[in-house]
């Protein structure tokens, strides 16, 4: 089976009941066999079960690494996109509360194709990239949505060799299908065309 990010042959890595995971020996990503993806209807229902209250202080604290970085790096007049904003677009709310100009896009809950025809100074992508069925295609889209010098802020839990995959709860979410290693992130930076990338725990910042 080939890696959906770098297209390199991959090896079987782990079995979980009826779910099969593969490991890419080139970019070190781990991904779910696409035969094990849940349906689009099931995926929507799963997201609708999330209790994402935009006024919840805990939820705001969870996304604050991205929000604080944007507030530090960009001006109110710069144009932003909350990509994969979900049922509770908390990043959009927090930035708009600071008078920032940001739009939201989500394939299930804010599917406005016009937002994908514009260019942005920054894009927020919080707990989204692990849901990508076609990560190379999705990162190419995000790259093309950015203006030169723009930044893409991602938050996800990276896979590492020291993690016990068996007990790693992140893989148990049926909508989490692609797990990035630090080498995967560097592959994206180099091959998609970003000029730089910084990894700070779960916060990953690409610059165009």
pLDDT in tens, 171-199: 999 999 999 999 999 999 999 999 999 99
**Of the candidate ranges 4-18, 45-59, 90-104, 125-139, the one whose mean pLDDT is the lowest:** 45-59
CB 59 within 8 A of CB 103: no
**Residue 2 included in any domain:** no
Band of the pLDDT at 6, cuts 50, 70, 90? very high
Pick from 153, 110, 155, 166: which is nearest to 130 by CA?
A: 155
Q: How does the average pLDDT of the chain come out, rounded?
A: 96
Choice between 18 and 181, residue whose per-residue pLDDT is larger? 181
Q: Would 137 be classed as within a structural domain?
A: yes
pLDDT, position 95? 98
Q: Cα 59 to the chain's mean position, in Å?
A: 17
Strands 146-155 and 178-179: unpaired
CA 18 to chain centre: 25
Q: Please state the rounded mean pLDDT for residues 202-208.
A: 98
What is the domain range of residue 150?
Answer: 10-207
The total domain count for the chain is 1
Percent of the chain residues past pLDDT 90, beyond the cut: 90
Structure tokens at 114: 């016009």
The residues, any chain, with a CB within 8 Å of residue 25's CB and separated by 6 or more, are: 8, 9, 10, 11
Residue 195 inside a domain? The answer is yes
Confidence of residue 162 (pLDDT cuts 50, 70, 90): confident
First and final C-alpha spacing in the chain:
31
Sign of the C-alpha dihedral computed for residues 158, 161, 166 and 167 taken in this order = negative
Q: What distance separates the 2 farthest-apart alpha carbons in the chain?
A: 50
The answer as to whether 117 is a domain residue is: yes
Summarised one tens digit per residue, pLDDT across range 45-102 is 999 887 778 888 998 999 999 999 999 999 999 999 999 999 989 999 999 999 999 9
Q: Which ranges of 110-193 would DSSP assign to H, the alpha helix? A: 135-145, 182-188
Is 3 a member of any domain? no
> In this structure, what CATH number is given to the domain that contains residue 82?
3.40.50.150
Cβ atoms of residues 128 and 122 within 8 Å: no
Count of C-beta atoms within a 10 Å radius of residue 40: 10
Q: Does residue 5 lie in a domain region? A: no
Query: Is the backbone of residue 99 left (phi > 0), alpha (psi -120 to 50) or beta?
Result: left
State how far the Cα of 140 lies from the Cα of 190, in Å rounded to an integer.
Answer: 12
Structural domain contains residue 86: yes
**Can you give the pLDDT at residue 56?**
87
Instruction: Establish if 4 belongs to a structural domain.
Output: no
């Amino acid at each position: 089976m080939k890696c959906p990010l770098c297209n390199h042959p991959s090896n079987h890595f782990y079995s979980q009941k009826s779910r099969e995971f593969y490991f890419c020996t080139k970019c070190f990503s781990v991904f779910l066999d696409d035969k094990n993806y849940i349906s689009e209807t099931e995926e929507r229902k799963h997201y609708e079960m999330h209790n994402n209250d935009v006024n919840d202080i805990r939820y705001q604290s969870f996304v604050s690494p991205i929000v604080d970085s944007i507030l530090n790096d960009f001006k109110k007049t710069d144009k932003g996109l909350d990509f994969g904003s979900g049922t509770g677009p908390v990043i959009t709310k927090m930035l708009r509360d600071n008078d920032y100009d940001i739009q939201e896009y989500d394939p299930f809950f804010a599917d406005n194709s016009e937002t994908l025809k514009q260019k942005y100074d920054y894009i927020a992508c919080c707990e989204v990239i692990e849901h990508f069925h076609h990560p190379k295609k999705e990162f190419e889209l995000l790259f093309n949505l950015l203006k030169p010098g723009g930044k893409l802020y991602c938050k996800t839990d990276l896979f590492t060799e020291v993690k016990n995959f068996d007990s790693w709860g992140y893989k148990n979410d049926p909508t989490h299908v692609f797990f990035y290693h630090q080498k995967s992130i560097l592959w994206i930076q180099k091959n998609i065309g970003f000029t730089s990338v910084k990894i700070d725990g779960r916060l990953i910042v690409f610059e165009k």
